[in-house]
Amino acid sequence: MAVVAKEDNNLIVIDKSQEAKPVKIGMSYQNALSVCKELEVIQADFKFYSLISEKIACDLNNKSPKVEAFDLGVTYVDISGLEMMYPTQDILIESLLKDIPKEFNPRIGIASNKFFSYVAAMHSKPNNFLKISNNFSSFLHAIHLNMLPVSSWNKAKLHDLDINNLIDVLNWSIDLLQLQFGIKDGKKLWELCRGIDNDYFYPLELKNQLKTSVCFDEPLVNKQSIVLAMSYMLDELLRDNKFRNRSARGLSISAQTSNSLYWNKKIKFKEPLFRKSKMLGIVESVLEVANIPGPLSDMSIELMNLTDDFSIQKSLFSFSRKEEDLLESIKQLEIRLGCKVPIYEIKEIEPWSRIPERRMALMRILP
């Protein structure tokens, strides 16, 4: 089995199983098929992979408040302070492993910094962990060029100098390293040889959103059916526990047509909304003028920027609306009767007057 992805209008093998020995990573699709006729090929779906990666990061976020989704398949979790919640490290690791599907054969590395925790993870067994504390020097020989966080140009230079792992530059002075590989990368190599990694930890920013998607058995061809599908999807989202006592400031619709074209639309609400009727009304008006490229085969909607507003700010002058309605009704009555209507209201003329009959008077409500 091999996984292929599009690169410069060519399909290239990006991963393969152990059984597909003749196939090499980077080989074109046609070459791979020619060397291995029974090869099963799967097209890479990076969108799906990043969704899964994000989901795993979110699940890990439930255990630790600091999680960095570094890359596909690489997630950093700050476990400092968690020892008060988990009696032993084994229990903590077991708890973290539960959040990652076993099919991925997760490997956990523990160290005092990001780089060495990555190295430890690369050397640990599947579904297990490895810890690097003060014994980092014993791992220097195992840190290959590809793992080093330096530019590809410097990696090529290291290869040219016949330097294949970090231990080869352990005895180089910082001046020499900076002279050879530049100030930034030279210093990085010197620090790594001494077990130092000052890279910042960028915690994951949890996107405050809710998403649902649906695949249709038959592509939707008219806007009424799209609106109906959206109505069901909104029902599902608004019933979600995460939406309880919250409002959304926007809605994102993404869909794929039957001829593999993508259509996206982001709608921002003027005020945070939590009622389905209002959201659907806005969506209907947007869909009326939207230009959808074809029948939709699948659709996903996402409620964005969830807020904790669950109330509506009403006007302080609640009677102002009633007065407007009353004046409108009186105008219509006058039009219908064809003459002025004897409807008066009490108005204050001189409320401070000591003479009572001068304080108030009846005046026509419509002048």
Partner 1 sequence: MVENTRKTYGIDENIALNVPILINVIESKNKFPKEIQIKNKFIKVLSVIDLWHVYGEWWKENSVNRMYYRINSDDRVIILFKNIDSNLWYLQNDY
Please report, as ranges, the residues that interact with partner 1 according to CB under 8 A. Answer: 339-340, 342, 344, 346, 354-357, 359-364
| N-term to C-term CA, the chain | 86
Nearer to partner 1, 105 or 332 (CB): 332
Phi and psi based region of residue 195 (left: phi greater than 0; alpha: psi -120 to 50; beta: remaining): left
Q: Taking the complex as a whole, how short is the minimal distance between the CB of residue 328 and partner 1, in angstroms?
A: 20
Tokens representing 226? 């799209």
- Min. distance of Cβ 349 from partner 1 in angstroms? 9
* Inter-residue contact 34 to 23 (CB < 8 Å): no
Distance CA 286, CA 174 (A): 61
Nearer to partner 1, 292 or 365 (CB): 365
Name the residue nearer to partner 1 (CB basis): 55 or 359: 359
- Least separation in angstroms between residue 332's CB and partner 1 is 17
Which CB atom, from 298 or from 334, has the smaller least distance to partner 1?
Answer: 334
Closest separation between CB of residue 325 and partner 1, Å? 22
Residue number, 87 or 342, with CB nearest to partner 1:
342
Judged by CB, which is closer to partner 1: 104, or 344? 344
Closest CA to 192 of 173, 220, 166, 165: 166
In the complex with partner 1, the residue whose CB is nearer, 316 or 339, is 339
Give the C-alpha distances (Å, rounded to integers) separating 285 from 192, 224, 304, 325.
58, 12, 19, 27
Rounded least distance, CB 329 to partner 1, Å: 18
Give the 3-state secondary structure percentages of the chain, helix then strand then coil, rounded to 5: 40, 25, 35
Phi-psi region of 26 (alpha: psi -120 to 50; beta: other; left: phi over 0): left
Q: Minimum distance between the CB of residue 312 and partner 1, rounded to whole angstroms?
A: 37
- 35-44's contacts with Cβ under 8 Å and 24+ in sequence apart are 36/2, 39/1, 39/2, 40/1, 40/2, 41/1, 41/2, 41/3, 41/4, 42/1, 42/2, 42/3, 42/4, 43/3, 43/4, 43/5, 43/11, 44/3, 44/4, 44/5, 44/14
- Min CB(223)–partner 1 separation in Å: 53
